[in-house]
Amino acid sequence: MKVKFTFVPSRILPRMAAVNSCPGQVRLGVNMASSSRPSLPKNYQLICDIVEESGIGRHLTPSDIYAQAVKRRPGFGLTTVYRGLERLRDLGFVSELYLPGADAVTYEPTGPQHAHFRCSACGAIEDVAFALPSRTIRTLASQHGFEIESERVTFEGRCAACRTQKI
């Protein structure tokens, strides 16, 4: 089976408000919490706020999140960060990103569908405005008898800075 993909290079996605804001957050004067959203324990809410405040296009490791959490709430535990991130991922408030060759899993606010680019020289991770067409996903699912729940597209190579420096 041959699948043809057309890739149109683009710049990093503009920083946008996340689609699934953390419960209880107030944006533009509107309370984003609703009765259908679970309320979070205060420690998980802090983790959610840290990831949300980082913005779309930023990819935080659990260590990054922990460092910020301890500044705001001394005595905060690293285990709490890992448990909180898992729960927030399951609820759809944060996206978890595993990239081959990256030092650690990273997290970003849930937002518009996009792909990622990882620089093989410096390790930088950038968002890329690209998604597989839904028709392609439906076709693959149908041809193979899959039920595709999500997809991730990752590109790897050298970023513009590393190409310029010939790293």
**Distances in whole angstroms, Cα of residue 60 to Cα of each of 66, 71, 145:** 10, 16, 35
Residue limits of CATH 1.10.10.10 in the chain: 39-111
Q: Look up residue 144 and give its two tokens.
A: 């193979």
Query: Is the pTM above the cut of 0.85?
Result: no
CATH code, residues 39-111: 1.10.10.10
Residues in the chain: 167
CATH code, residues 113-167: 3.30.1490.190
Residue limits of CATH 3.30.1490.190 in the chain: 113-167
Q: Look up residue 96 and give its two tokens.
A: 């978890």
**Rounded CA separation 141/150 (Å):** 11
pLDDT attached to residue 108: 92
pLDDT attached to residue 99: 81
Q: What does the pLDDT profile of the chain (167 residues) look like in tens digits?
A: 443 333 333 333 333 333 456 765 543 333 344 445 568 999 999 999 999 999 888 899 999 999 999 999 999 999 999 999 999 999 999 999 988 777 789 999 988 889 999 999 998 899 999 989 999 999 999 999 999 988 889 899 999 999 999 76
